[in-house]
Homo-oligomer: A and B are copies of this chain.
Amino acid sequence: MSKEAIVLVLVNLFRRYGYEGASLAQISKVTGLGKASLYHYFPGGKEEMVRAALDYIDNWVETNILKILRSNASPLERLQAMCQQVEVFYDRGQTPCLWAILTLEESSDRFHTRIKQALTVWIEVLADVLKEAGIEAELATIRAQEAILRIQGALILTRGLNDTTPFERTMKSLAEELLS
């Protein structure tokens, strides 16, 4: 199992169980590696594992979201493409957001700064698209925040109700509503 594949496992476990909830025993089991082997890849232990997971997400966002948002397609097309990526990444709302669960857990304070940074960048790039579409700067930022807010809210609600409808509905209408 490559390090990339291990990190992918980490991402999925921390998303679903949070920092305290994901144990090394579980990680060891799912990766098939002994605990000691995990320390070969992540000498800093669990904290470094989370950092690696966050790195992976940063990279995923850059590649699959920000790159699209900075492309030269029409604003609507870019926003729709973003929504599609988001829908797949979160499995129609069935898999939690790593940022969200770490943000809620006060015990994960150490990661809050970089999560804040990642959110801020996404919002800025999103706001740039909206400005390009003719929306005034201040409103663009508010709407960009609203987009993230609705994605996150849809994730909670869809998991809470155990029904993917709210998430799918949100992703379907989000792009157009941002531009209206």
Contact = CB atoms under 8 A, between A and B. Distances in A.
Nearest to A151: B153
B160 A119 contact: yes
Interface string A50-68: 0000000000000000000
A166 B150 CA distance: 12
A120 B103 CA distance: 25
A166 B153 contact: no
Bin chain A's interface residue count: 35 or more
A157 B152 contact: yes
A20 interface: yes
A96 B169 CA distance: 25
A100 interface: yes
Q: Which 6 A-B pairs have the closest CB atoms?
A: A153-B153, A149-B153, A20-B20, A152-B156, A16-B106, A152-B153
28 contacts: A17-B105, A18-B18, A18-B20, A18-B105, A19-B21, A21-B105, A99-B160, A100-B104, A100-B156, A100-B160, A103-B160, A104-B156, A112-B162, A116-B160, A116-B161, A119-B161, A120-B161, A145-B157, A145-B161, A148-B153, A149-B153, A149-B166, A150-B150, A152-B152, A152-B156, A152-B157, A152-B160, A153-B153
Interface of A: 16-21, 96, 99-101, 103-107, 112, 115-116, 119-120, 142, 145, 148-154, 156-157, 159-162, 166, 169-170
